[in-house]
Structure 1
Amino acid sequence: MFVRIVKMSLHSKYIADFQEMFDEKKAVIRNSEGCKLLELYQDKNNPELFFTYSYWENESDLENYRNSEFFKQTWQQTKGYFNDKPEAWSVDKRVSIQ
């Protein structure tokens, strides 16, 4: 399992639109083949800064999702909200203590 982290900086005027869109689409993302967890975070000090964390069984599951029409349409819509270039990382989880 690995984690995909995406950092997105949004224009403040689009924050509500982004959150509404995410609420509408989160179940489809989470129920994509191989997706085990989906989380959305908003920075406490900069409300324009958001992060998604998604946990995937394997890289091919993420790639299949990223190549889907659903993702392409969703990402196209999301890009219209950005005020800076997004950043993304794929990381292996090494330790988790709860």
Structure 2
Amino acid sequence: MLIRLVRMTFDPAQVPAFQALFAQTQDLIRQQPGCRLLELWQDADQPHIFCTHSHWDDQAALDAYRRSALFGRVWPATKRLFAAPPLAFSSRITDGAD
């Protein structure tokens, strides 16, 4: 399983627009093949900073979503609201024996 975190800093005035966009698309993202979990986290001290936390079957599933028409609509609309570049990284759960 692949775990993906994307930290996004928004213009504070654009937070309502982002929240509306996420509300409209979250179920569609969750329905993408290989998506096991999608959560939105809001920073407790800086409410204009959010993270998406998602679980994917593997890198191929995430890559397929990133090539989808849905991503092609959602990501550009999200990027227009940023106040700073996003930070993204992927991880795998390991038991330490790998």
Please state which band the TM-score falls in when normalised by the shorter chain.
over 0.9
1:40-80 alpha-carbon deviations (Å, 9 max, x no partner) = 00001001110000100011000000011110111010011
Give TM-score scaled by structure 1 length: 0.94
Identical aligned pairs, as a percentage? 36
TM-score (norm 2): 0.94
What is the deviation of 1:18?
Answer: 0.4
The 4+ residue runs of structure 1 with deviation greater than 3 A are none
Extract unaligned runs of 5+ from structure 1.
none
Gaps of 5+ in 2: none
The corresponding residue for 1:9 is: 9
Alignment RMSD, CA only? 0.9
Aligned to 1:29: 29
Distance 2:43 2:33 in 1: 29
Question: Aligned equivalents of 1:3 and 1:31: distance in 2?
Answer: 16
